[in-house]
Amino acid sequence: MATSHKKRKMVAEINVVPYIDVMLVLLIIFMVTTPLLTEGIKVDLPKADAQVMDTGNIDPLIITVDKAGQFYLAYQTSKGFPLSKAELFQQASELLSEHPTLDVMIKGDQNINYGRVVEAMVTLKKAGAASVGLITDLSET
């Protein structure tokens, strides 16, 4: 009896089904978590035709002035809560003493008194900010 051994050919295909499953799971995770990552203070930013600023890899210190004229400080993962001018000065000076090159930005609601934005700018300069930028929405024109 002669037995014939058939050689099996090697298959050089990649089974992509597991990769598609993983991709779909990641897509669903990102779709669910992305809306949760936005900052929680609602501000109607003024529209301006300004250049987009590159902040590098470091998150900027963001001061928000809402419709009621209240100050909020947000840095990295902190969402911010209402602060008085003295509390804003204290927290900003602590952060700026630890990170002297930190970019400082102000988000001011377009419907508030401009004086509140100026108060925030002066407070931040006194706290040690080298420069203070304003955050706007891009103009639609």
Which residue do the tokens 């902040």 mark? 55
In this structure, CATH architecture of domain 47-138: 2-Layer Sandwich (3.30)
How many C-beta atoms lie closer than 10 Å to residue 66's C-beta?
20
Supply the pLDDT for residue 79: 67
Q: Is 63 helix (H, G, I), strand (E, B) or coil?
A: strand
Give the pLDDT of residue 3: 59
How many Å apart are CA 88 and CA 124, to the nearest integer?
A: 8
Q: Tell me the pLDDT of the chain (141 aa) as tens digits.
A: 555 567 777 777 888 888 889 999 999 988 887 766 655 556 565 666 666 655 565 788 888 888 888 899 888 766 677 889 999 999 999 989 988 888 888 888 888 888 888 899 889 989 998 888 888 777 665
So what's the pLDDT on residue 24? Answer: 92
